[in-house]
Amino acid sequence: MTIEIITPDKSLFKGEAKGVTVPGIDGSLGILNNHAPLITALKEGKVKVTNANNEEVFFDIKGGVAEVLNNKVIILAE
């Protein structure tokens, strides 16, 4: 799946990944391959991206929204 994390100032991350964990408003959400289409609001927290080499990359966000569609995750963060 491809993941894109964008903020108004710049693009934080773009690339292939195995999974991503986002801080949803009602709790942490893990998203793996072939997830159903989803739109969720995010709260302040860390986004964890597990990349192709099984390494974990973290991004701090102050809230935002994430869209999952056809194995493409777009995180609009602040």
Partner 1 sequence: MANLKEIRSRITSVNSTRQITAAMKMVSAAKLRRAQDAITQMRPYAEKLQEILQNLSSALDVSENPYAAQREVKRILIVSITSNRGLCGAFNNNVIKQAKTIIAQNPGARIQVLSIGKKSFDVFKKTDYAPGVGYPTEAYKIYEDLNFADASSIAECVMDKFEAGKLDKVYLVYNSFRNAAIQILETEQFLPIVPPEASSESTSQIDYIFEPNKEEIVTELIPKSLKTQFYKAILDSNAGEHGARMTAMHKATDNATDMLKDLKLTYNKARQASITNEILEIVAGAEALNG
- Residue identified by tokens 């995180």 is 75
- Pick between residue 49 and residue 68 the one whose CB is nearest to partner 1: 68
16 scored as a contact of partner 1 (CB under 8 A) = no
45 scored as a contact of partner 1 (CB under 8 A) = no
1 scored as a contact of partner 1 (CB under 8 A) = no
Q: Determine how many CB atoms are found less than 10 A away from the CB of residue 75.
A: 25
Interatomic CA distance for residues 67 and 35, integer angstroms: 11
Q: Determine how many CB atoms are found less than 10 A away from the CB of residue 67.
A: 14
Burial of 53 (0-12, 13-18, 19+ CB in 10 A): exposed
32 scored as a contact of partner 1 (CB under 8 A) = no
Of 41, 44, 55, 71, which one interacts with partner 1 (CB under 8 A)?
A: 41
Of 24, 45, 48, 59, which one interacts with partner 1 (CB under 8 A)?
A: 24
Of 13, 18, 29, 45, which one interacts with partner 1 (CB under 8 A)?
A: 29
